[in-house]
Structure 1
C-alpha cells in the first residue's frame, strides 16, 4: 500500500479510521529543530472534527503522542514517529455496509483489490481521518519553513456555487495567520456566511457539497525543482492527490489559462527591489517545473462527501444483485473547509523536502 511520499524527507502514514490508532513516520527531518507544541496543537485543531454543525460530530482530541524523533521538543535526527489514538468510533454504523459498497467511496475498489478483507469501517485507510497524521508532520514542516522565511497558507475558495475572494497576487504571512485564526477559513467573512449556508442547506436535505481550497507559499526561492517529471507541480500533485476526496488541482491561472491568449496569459518580467520578478503571476510561481521566486499558488478541488442520507443505488456483493442503500451514522456535509490545513500541511512537507534536497545537492552535507 503506497501511503508514503517524499525523497529526502520520507513520510509514511499508517492506520485505519476505526483502528486503535493512526500515525505518521517521517524520516529525514533536519536535527536540532525545535517544535512548538502549542502552535502544533493549534494547527491540528483547525482540521479536528466535532467543532460545529458544518462537520461530523465525531469527537477526537487529535493530540499526538511522539514515540521517537524528538528529544525535549527538539528533532534529534532519528525518524519521527507520532500516533493519535482513535477514541470515538461508532463501528456498528458500518456493519451493514460490508456487503453493499457506498457510491462514491472506495468500498468496492478495496473489496476487489484485497478480496473483501480490507477494514472499511469509517472508510478504513481511505478515510479523511488519515489527514490528521499529515497535519502532524505538515505542522512541523511549516514551523521549519517559517524559520527560513518560507510561509504557507490557504483559505476556502469556494463551496458549491458560493465563492470567497481570491488571495492577492502577493499575499503575506500575516494574512495566512489571520485566516488560520478564524473558525471558518475565508478571507471575506460575508462570503463565508453564504458558504456556510450552502453547507447547512445540503446537510438539512440529507446531501453534501464540495469545495475548492486555494493555497499559496511565499518566500520560496527561485530555482527549486527540475524539468519535466521532477517539476514542482509534479511533486506537489503526487502528494496532494493523496488527500482523500481531492479530485482536481491547478496551478496559477490553471484551466482559465486555456481560454486566454498568450499576450494576456504571459507574466511580463520586471525589476523590483533589485530582483527579477513578474508584474502578475498567472504561472503560479512556476515556469518549466521550476520556481521563479514569485508566490507559489494552487487550487485543490474536493468532491462532495459520498456518505449522504439520501437513498442511493448500489449492489449486494454476496448475491450480485442491485439494491438500495441508505447510509446512517455521522458524516461531514462538506469536507473542504476542514481540508484547508491539510492542503497547507502537504504543500509544506513537499516544499521542505525539495529544499532539503536542493541544499544537499549544493552543500553535500545535508544541513538546512
Structure 2
C-alpha cells in the first residue's frame, strides 16, 4: 500500500478556519504554514479538522479525542472543579486553587492512552490507516484516514464513531438515574425540572469525547509546539499500538509534525458496517438532537417569558431552549443581553435557569464577564446559523 505523509494529507484541502482563539478563514496550505510559523510556541495552533466547499463539508477522518479530565480544589470551600485558567468558584474565589499533582495527571493520561490504543487496534483489524497525535497535555487524538467525501450532516460520521468504539470496548458501563419527566441524567434527589421520579438505566460511556464527533466545524490542535515548551506530535501508527505512556511523554520534547502513514483506499460511505444502537450509549447529543422550543414544560414561566420578550431572534431563542446549545449560541445570547442593557450578574443568573445539561458556573461566569468587558464581540450571524443547520426555515422569525 502506498505511503503518504500524515500532516499534508489531513490538512491540504481548503477553505478552513484557524484560531487561537480568534478564528479566521484560510484558503491555502501556505497560509496554514504561515499561521503555524507565526504562532508556534507563542499561541495555540488550532485548525478545523474538516474543510469547506460552498455549502458542503469535506471530511476525511473522525475526531477520536481521548482527553483526561484534571481537577483542582478551592482552598476556601473545598469545592472540586475542572482545571481551567479562568475559573470562579461558587464561593467567589478566583485565584486560590490546589491543582492535581503531575503524578496523578500522568496516571489519568496513561489510562486515556491505553483506551486510545484499544481503538487503534480495531482500526488495524479493519485495515483502516490512522495517525495518532499526542497532545502533550491531556491525552491523544486518533484520526482514521479515509478518502475525502462531502457531507451535509454528521449522521454517518457519528454512527461510524460509535461502531468502532463499541468494537474496541473503549467504554465504561455505568448505571445512571434518568428523570422520567425530561430525560436528563440526575445526580441528586431532584431533577432541575423539579421532578423526583427517576428510573435507573445502564449505559456505555465512551472514553473518547462524544460531543466533538458530530461537530463538523470543530477545531483540533495541530502538531506544533505548545506554550509549555512541549510539542503536540504525530506518532507512527506501528509504534503507537504498543508504546508506553512514558515514551510519549519523552517524545513530546522533540517536535514531529508528520509521519508516514498508509494511504486510504475508501470513503467512509464505502465501509460496510451494522450501526450500533445509540440508546445504549451515554451520547451527550448535540443541540439539534434535542430541538425543542421555549414552550417546553421544564422551563419555568419566568424563563419562558424572558426568552419570548428579550430574544426576538427566533433561531437564537429556539437554540437557547435546547439542552446543549453550541458555544456560539451561548456567546451570542450574552452579547445580545449586553446590548439591551442587562447586567452581567443578571445574565449569569438567567443562563443558570435554562437547564443545560453541561452548565457549569465556574466556566460560564468568566465567559460572561469577558464578553461584557470586550469591545469586539459580535453575535453569531444568522447566515452561519443556517449553514450550521441551526435554523428551522419554516418556523424561523429572525429579524
Higher relative contact order (CA 8 A, sep 6+): 1
Determine if the TM-score, normalized by the shorter chain, exceeds 0.5: no
The TM tier, using the shorter chain, reads: under 0.3
- In the superposition, the TM-score normalised over structure 1's length comes to 0.28
